[in-house]
Amino acid sequence: MHDVIVIGGGVLGHAVAYYLTRAGAKTLLLDRNDTGKATAAGAGILSPETNTRDPEAWFEFAHQSVALYPDLVPVLEEDAPGCTGYAQCGLLLVAATEDEVEPFERAAERIFERQRRRSEPSPSDLRAVSPAEARRLFPPLAAVQRAIHHTGAARVDGRGLAQALQSVSQRQGLRVRQASVERLVVEGDRVTGVVVGGETHSAGAVVIAGGAWSPAFGAQIGLDLPVAPQRGQIAHLRLRGQATEGWPVVNAFHGHYMVAWPDGRVVTGATRETGSGFAPYLTARGVGEVMREALRVAPGLAEAEVLEVRVGLRPLSADGLPFLGPVPGVAGLFLATGHGPTGLTLGPLSGKVVAEMALGQPASVDVSAFSVGRGLRK
Ligand SMILES: Cc1cc2nc3c(=O)[nH]c(=O)nc-3n(C[C@H](O)[C@H](O)[C@H](O)COP(=O)(O)OP(=O)(O)OC[C@H]3O[C@@H](n4cnc5c(N)ncnc54)[C@H](O)[C@@H]3O)c2cc1C
């Protein structure tokens, strides 16, 4: 008998398990490790201050979540320095071509208005820079039209982060099994466990953190969870012999970006294929789009070596916000899913609050905007 069973071993499942085991809860994590696991493909950009797509509720939560990283990372990297890939590398938001100037100006207005209203980041940490300054920071860049530099932006490697969360959680007592959860066990109005390989595992609470696969449990408990896979294809390039480690993230306006890592690695993407279904494979069009867009914004990448192209299925909710907390009508059942394109940003705080709720404690931050009750068709 476990206190809590967590279904799913992406960043969300592992973040929940980390905070559960840190609080001393007897926890079992079950992960099928599906092809297309989003966490293994994520670009890892952490920069709420330059996000202009999502509502204020998202921003407040994201801002608090990324603030957890500087304390969390040293704990996770104690035995393996650098294993999460986390670094405060900064970010350049650019209008690469003339057609992007108008959307850039609109975004800049929103970014600087929020900066004034909140009196942060400081004007030296979030400011417009010249095209020449932008290219000095990211040498492969085209001669861009406009640029904003945000020094506080960071990056994190999803695979490394999930692995590090798992290692530390196991030291805190977490049990992990690679297994597919076939169904929930529901007695009356309460979940009492899960079934794996015909065998029942009992628990006081169950957390569904199954990414894009989470809605599969809906039929059993009578809810239609509006979360669907959104395919993302993302290329890993290498600029041999270049010291890329300190380069900032570059974000342009056709939804694509570049993230630089040590050893010349530059990750570029990604497609956002809404309605892709469960099709976790590369396509000619997707790879073509990624390469074309990379070279439009950064022609200096043209001779880079292609190391690999990854594909992930983002768990995208109908309104773009995650589902966090108790499932109405089924005591002991909780969701931590629907994080779409920002699960690495929201992951630490989502994990913390869902762990609190699964342990019967009040959530330490307001998650009403992400309640499971919204948008559910019973
Ligand atoms: C190309 C790409 C770029 C991205 N870039 C960023 C970024 O820059 N910044 C950012 O913040 N976010 C980014 N994201 C988003 C982020 O990666 C996701 O939101 C996050 O990883 C989702 O994590 P998850 O744990 O919910 O799902 P997943 O990582 O998909 O994990 C779900 C796991 O649950 C398991 N599972 C499902 N059902 C069952 C079952 N019945 N039994 C057992 N196991 C089960 C699956 O096998 C899988 O392993 C990006 C995503 C992609 C694809």
CATH number of 91-151+228-316: 3.30.9.10
Side-chain-side CA neighbours of residue 162 (13 Å) = 22
What average pLDDT does range 64-85 have in this prediction?
A: 96
Name which of 131, 124, 130, 132 is nearest 150 in CA terms: 124
- pLDDT at position 45: 98
- For residues 158 and 161, what is the distance between their CA atoms, to the nearest angstrom? 5
Output the six-digit token pair for 281.
């494979």
Name which of 253, 205, 248, 203 is nearest 102 in CA terms: 253
- For residues 249 and 155, what is the distance between their CA atoms, to the nearest angstrom? 8
Atom of ligand 1 nearest to the CA of 343: 19
State if residue 321 touches ligand 1 by the CB under 6 angstroms criterion. no
What average pLDDT does range 103-109 have in this prediction?
A: 95
Looking at 67-194, list the stretches that DSSP marks H as alpha helix, in order from N- to C-terminal side. Answer: 69-76, 101-118, 131-137, 158-171
Give the pLDDT band of residue 376 (cuts 50, 70, 90).
Answer: low
Phi/psi at 96 (5° precision) = -75, -40
- pLDDT at position 219: 84
Looking at 180-335, list the stretches that DSSP marks H as alpha helix, in order from N- to C-terminal side. Answer: 218-221, 284-297
- For residues 283 and 318, what is the distance between their CA atoms, to the nearest angstrom? 24
pLDDT tens digits along 350-361: 999 999 999 999
State if residue 28 touches ligand 1 by the CB under 6 angstroms criterion. no
- For residues 53 and 99, what is the distance between their CA atoms, to the nearest angstrom? 19
Residues 6+ apart with CB under 8 A from 272: 230, 232, 255, 314, 341
Residue 69 reports pLDDT greater than 50: yes
- pLDDT at position 375: 60
Topology classification of domain 2-41+159-226+319-370: FAD/NAD(P)-binding domain (3.50.50)
State if residue 286 touches ligand 1 by the CB under 6 angstroms criterion. no
Considering only CA atoms, which residue is closest to atom 31 of ligand 1? 10
Residue 39 reports pLDDT greater than 90: yes
- pLDDT at position 253: 82
- For residues 187 and 74, what is the distance between their CA atoms, to the nearest angstrom? 42
State if residue 11 touches ligand 1 by the CB under 6 angstroms criterion. yes
Calculate the average pLDDT of the chain. 96
- For residues 287 and 265, what is the distance between their CA atoms, to the nearest angstrom? 18
Give the Å distance between the CA of 127 and the centre of ligand 1: 32
Atom of ligand 1 nearest to the CA of 45: 8
pTM: 0.97
pLDDT tens digits along 304-328: 999 999 999 999 999 999 999 999 9
Domain boundaries, the chain: 2-41+159-226+319-370, 91-151+228-316
Residue 377 reports pLDDT greater than 70: no
CB 19 within 8 A of CB 355: yes
Distance of CA 168 to the CA centre of its chain: 20
- pLDDT at position 378: 47
pLDDT tens digits along 254-305: 889 999 999 999 999 999 999 999 999 999 999 999 999 999 999 999 999 9
- For residues 58 and 342, what is the distance between their CA atoms, to the nearest angstrom? 10
Q: Residue 137: how many CB atoms within 10 A of its CB?
A: 18
- For residues 195 and 215, what is the distance between their CA atoms, to the nearest angstrom? 17
pLDDT tens digits along 205-263: 999 999 999 999 998 888 899 999 999 999 999 999 999 999 999 999 888 999 999 99
Name which of 364, 357, 361, 355 is nearest 22 in CA terms: 355
Q: Residue 81: how many CB atoms within 10 A of its CB?
A: 9
What average pLDDT does range 126-146 have in this prediction?
A: 97
Give the pLDDT band of residue 88 (cuts 50, 70, 90).
Answer: very high
Question: What is the percentage of the chain residues whose pLDDT exceeds 90?
Answer: 95
Q: Which 8-state DSSP code applies to residue 331?
A: B
Q: What is the DSSP string of 125-145?
A: TEEE--HHHHHHHSTT----S
Give the Å distance between the CA of 190 and the centre of ligand 1: 27
